[in-house]
């Protein structure tokens, strides 16, 4: 008999905001994704990358994505650097029209998609080389113009920024963004941009940002991931290059542009032009955290390139290494510093005089100790320097890339003794696991026997089911159920696991280096996967305290029980990984005063609608209904392959 007896005794407090998000610019999650910019290579600085472990090269591809329009028209595109708009990104376009109305266009990922009556903001820097006519901008497809033509004149020989608005007359996809000259002549252009006017905070693609908001995350870890480290130290993420005016942020080639390269394709992938414009930079990440109501958790580089991709490092006893530490101290100052400080003043100049309230920093991503890499010593140096200046900042260490290796064991054997000597040495240790669904089901009790003195950050996790026919990894209900089961164990052990987030977060269809992912999207659609809805159930339906329970359950049944003191409800989560329905008796012990009705939220196989080609449901609905209660004892039936949340009105008597 399946039975859960719920005590009034508290098992452990649950960290507020325990369930959060991890953002990495992978799968075109930033440019082409959450960052609402619609054009590619907007400042003519892209590079094409190729290579493999320790051997990477880039070739300048400044005209990538740009071409004459129409293709057979009398327009030429050339790049120049003699009189740049700024020295950080020195290349700019000189477009020469051989006749009136010659123009040029941008690839714009899959082409421009417009929503009827929506307004779009177009901006660019320009100066006349030899020109007295007008500049015209529109969006068109197959000879039909879908926006009113925006036109401006009076272009002179000095660099100036111009802003126009376009209103869509009809909905269209795969259209062309076009700039034309009204007569023959030459004009220099740089930093050409098109952004939807409804972008959240003027920065973030609305449907994607709203899906994140729907999760009510407790924190946001950013900007990666492997992006933090880079394939080489040259292309690591430098936060200082991601702040200030957008046109003065140095374009960086992406570590994911060379993911899984092979000899047979010349060590080049279809994503060889994947670059980071850094339009979504550290200032924007902090703004995103404010919009989401999430605590910011930036991750910093410790002088190491990605250990999976490179042997590059700076010596931990070098002056160069001290610069990595100083960058972190300056980052904390940028986030929290007074406006009288250098970095606090920059934050204020960008529009945010108030501090961002940074409390946590991750020291390294997925680092581990080897004969050649002294990660432990590097962490100790960071910890000493940060806590000398900012004693209240909580630090997150790394247990390496997995939880089943000698490197993982070595990390904990170093961390625990160090933490005993200094209680602020580490707040939590970042653990990562990308595992088959079976591992999640088999390891629901993974944290039951963990020592309690050092906390855990489950910083990257996902169940990876393998497709039967094509052996690809994709999102499905099996993965979501496995993750839900694992999360029951994580919630029950909230005294040791204080933060948890799924990874990766986003994937643009057709631009994907890694799957599965939490949210999939294209130019006009955004899909929350079954895993997304599992995360939502935990993020929205977890109380402040985990309760003691006496659970007697069959195999493939899992539960977690918490108490929401604010709403005066007991929250029961039930995961049924079996192919049969299960009857469960739930009994609240004497001393609970219950209401007359409970709320039931359910995610199961028949909540999923049509599944698309990547195994992502077009639409999911987690059902919510109210059911009558008959005192402190109730019987419920849970469906096969389901996650069920019960919110039971209940108040503990004095």
Sign of CA dihedral 96, 98, 102, 108: negative
DSSP character for 411? H
Sign of CA dihedral 629, 630, 631, 637: negative
Residue 452 corresponds to which tokens in the numbers above? 């309690």
Nearest one of 416, 243, 409 to 335, comparing CA atoms: 243
Is the Cβ–Cβ distance between 501 and 460 less than 8 Å?
yes
Residues in Cβ contact with 404 at an 8 Å cutoff, skipping those fewer than 6 apart: none
Nearest one of 627, 626, 606 to 617, comparing CA atoms: 606
**Catalytic amino acids?**
366
Question: CB burial class (10 A; 0-12, 13-18, 19+) of residue 137?
Answer: buried
Three-state DSSP at 560 gives strand
Distance CA 218, CA 559 (A): 22
Residue 91, preceding peptide bond in cis (omega within 30° of 0): no
Distance CA 648, CA 561 (A): 11
Distance CA 520, CA 529 (A): 7
Is the Cβ–Cβ distance between 134 and 182 less than 8 Å?
yes
Residues in Cβ contact with 367 at an 8 Å cutoff, skipping those fewer than 6 apart: 302, 304, 307, 373, 375, 378, 398, 400
Residues in Cβ contact with 414 at an 8 Å cutoff, skipping those fewer than 6 apart: 369, 376
Q: How many CB atoms lie within 10 A of CB 652?
A: 18
Residue 245 sits at the vertex; the CA angle it makes with 244 and 247, to the nearest 5 degrees, is 130
Nearest one of 520, 518, 507 to 618, comparing CA atoms: 520
Nearest one of 8, 414, 505, 489 to 221, comparing CA atoms: 505
DSSP character for 622? -
Residue with tokens 């020195």: 90
Nearest one of 389, 377, 390 to 304, comparing CA atoms: 377
Strand-by-strand arrangement of the 526-528 sheet: 506-508, 519-521, 526-528
Is the Cβ–Cβ distance between 594 and 568 less than 8 Å?
no
Residue 330 corresponds to which tokens in the numbers above? 């300056």
DSSP H or E stretch at residue 462: strand 455-463
Q: How many CB atoms lie within 10 A of CB 470?
A: 7
Is the Cβ–Cβ distance between 96 and 76 less than 8 Å?
yes
Nearest one of 126, 25, 44, 51 to 85, comparing CA atoms: 126
Residues written for the chain:
654
Residue 551 sits at the vertex; the CA angle it makes with 599 and 537, to the nearest 5 degrees, is 35
Is the Cβ–Cβ distance between 283 and 242 less than 8 Å?
yes
């Amino acid at each position: 008999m399946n039975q859960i007896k719920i005590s009034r005794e508290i098992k452990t407090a649950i960290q507020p905001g325990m369930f959060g998000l991890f953002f990495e610019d992978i799968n075109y999650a930033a440019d082409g994704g959450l960052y609402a910019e619609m054009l590619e290579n907007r400042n003519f600085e892209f590079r094409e990358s190729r290579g493999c472990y320790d051997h990477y090269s880039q070739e300048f591809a400044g005209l990538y994505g740009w071409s004459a329009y129409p293709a057979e028209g009398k327009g030429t595109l050339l790049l120049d650097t003699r009189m740049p708009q700024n020295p950080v990104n020195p290349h700019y376009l000189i477009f020469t029209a051989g006749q009136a109305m010659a123009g040029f266009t941008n690839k714009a990922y899959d082409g421009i998609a417009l929503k009827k009556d929506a307004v779009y903001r177009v901006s660019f820097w320009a100066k006349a080389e030899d020109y007295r006519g007008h500049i015209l901008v529109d969006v068109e497809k197959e000879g039909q113009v879908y926006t009113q033509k925006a036109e401006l004149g009076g272009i002179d020989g000095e660099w100036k920024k111009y802003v126009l608005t376009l209103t869509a007359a009809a909905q269209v996809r795969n259209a062309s963004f076009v700039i034309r000259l009204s007569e023959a002549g030459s004009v220099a252009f740089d930093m050409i941009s098109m952004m939807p006017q409804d972008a959240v905070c003027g920065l973030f693609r609305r449907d994607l940002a709203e899906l994140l908001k729907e999760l009510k995350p407790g924190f946001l870890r950013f900007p990666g991931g492997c992006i933090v480290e880079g394939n080489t130290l040259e292309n690591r993420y430098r936060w200082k290059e991601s702040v200030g005016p957008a046109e003065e942020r140095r374009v960086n080639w992406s570590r994911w542009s060379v993911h899984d390269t092979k000899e047979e394709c010349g060590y080049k992938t279809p994503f060889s032009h994947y670059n980071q414009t850094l339009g979504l930079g550290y200032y924007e990440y902090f703004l995103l955290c404010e919009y989401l109501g999430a605590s910011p958790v930036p991750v910093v580089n410790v002088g190491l390139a990605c250990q999976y991709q490179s042997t590059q490092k700076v010596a931990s006893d070098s002056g160069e290494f001290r610069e990595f530490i100083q960058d972190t101290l300056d980052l904390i100052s940028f986030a929290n510093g007074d406006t009288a400080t250098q970095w606090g003043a920059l934050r204020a100049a960008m529009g945010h005089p108030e501090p961002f309230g940074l409390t946590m920093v991750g020291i390294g991503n997925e680092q581990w100790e080897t004969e050649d890499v002294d990660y432990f010593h590097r962490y100790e140096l960071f910890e000493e320097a940060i806590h000398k200046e900012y004693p209240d900042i909580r630090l997150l260490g790394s247990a390496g890339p997995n939880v089943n290796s000698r490197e993982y064991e070595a990390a904990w054997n170093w961390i625990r003794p160090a933490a005993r000597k200094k209680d602020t040495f580490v707040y939590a240790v970042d653990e990562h696991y990308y595992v088959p669904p079976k591992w999640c089901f088999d390891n629901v009790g993974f944290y039951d026997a963990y020592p309690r003195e050092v906390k855990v950050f489950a910083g990257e996790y996902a169940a990876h089911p393998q497709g039967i026919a094509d052996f690809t990894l994709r999102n499905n209900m099996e993965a979501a159920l496995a993750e839900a089961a694992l999360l029951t164990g994580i919630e029950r052990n909230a005294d040791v696991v204080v933060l948890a987030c799924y990874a990766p977060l986003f994937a643009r269809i057709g631009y994907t280096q890694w799957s599965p992912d939490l949210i999939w999207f294209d130019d006009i659609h955004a899909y929350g996967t079954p895993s997304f809805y599992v995360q939502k159930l935990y993020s929205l339906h977890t109380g402040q305290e985990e309760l003691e329970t006496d659970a007697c359950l069959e195999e493939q049944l899992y539960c977690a029980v918490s108490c929401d003191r604010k709403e005066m409800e007991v929250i029961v989560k039930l995961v049924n990984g079996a192919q049969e329905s299960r009857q469960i008796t739930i009994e609240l012990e004497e001393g609970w005063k219950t209401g007359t009705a409970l709320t039931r939220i359910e995610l199961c196989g028949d909540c999923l609608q049509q599944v698309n080609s990547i195994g992502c449901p077009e639409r999911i609905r987690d059902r919510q209904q109210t059911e009558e209660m008959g005192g402190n004892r109730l019987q419920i039936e849970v469906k096969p392959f389901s996650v069920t949340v019960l919110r039971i009105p209940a108040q503990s008597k004095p």
